[in-house]
Amino acid sequence: MKDKDIVIPILTKKEFFMLNNIADIIRDEYIKIFENNKKILYESYKESNYFYEISFEEYFIWWYHIYYSMVTDKLIEKEIIKKSNIKNFSYIVM
């Protein structure tokens, strides 16, 4: 959305594959980061109230959502990205 208008990005096949290539580039790096910190995350999970209610995988998905939300807030604070008028948006940092 831009202001109150709905904006739908239309990608060419080339642009779509470029986005896919970005995911391929950072995927291995993200996996390493999370694997290197899995023990800390698992300890946090074990100490949480959710330990007996949900799996570690579910906890990780929830944690990751909180994490990227915090990163988004920091990027907005540093004016690296602009906050839209709506509360939900996507971005790509290159």
Number of domains observed in the structure of the chain: 1
CA dist., res. 67 & res. 62, Å (int):
9
Burial class (CB in 10 A: 0-12, 13-18, 19+), 45: buried
- Find the mean pLDDT for residues 37-57: 96
Domain of residue 92: give its range: 1-94
Q: What is the pLDDT of residue 89?
A: 61
What are the two backbone dihedrals, phi and then psi, of residue 42, each rounded to the nearest 5 degrees?
-65, -40
**Confidence tier at 62 by pLDDT (50, 70, 90):** very high
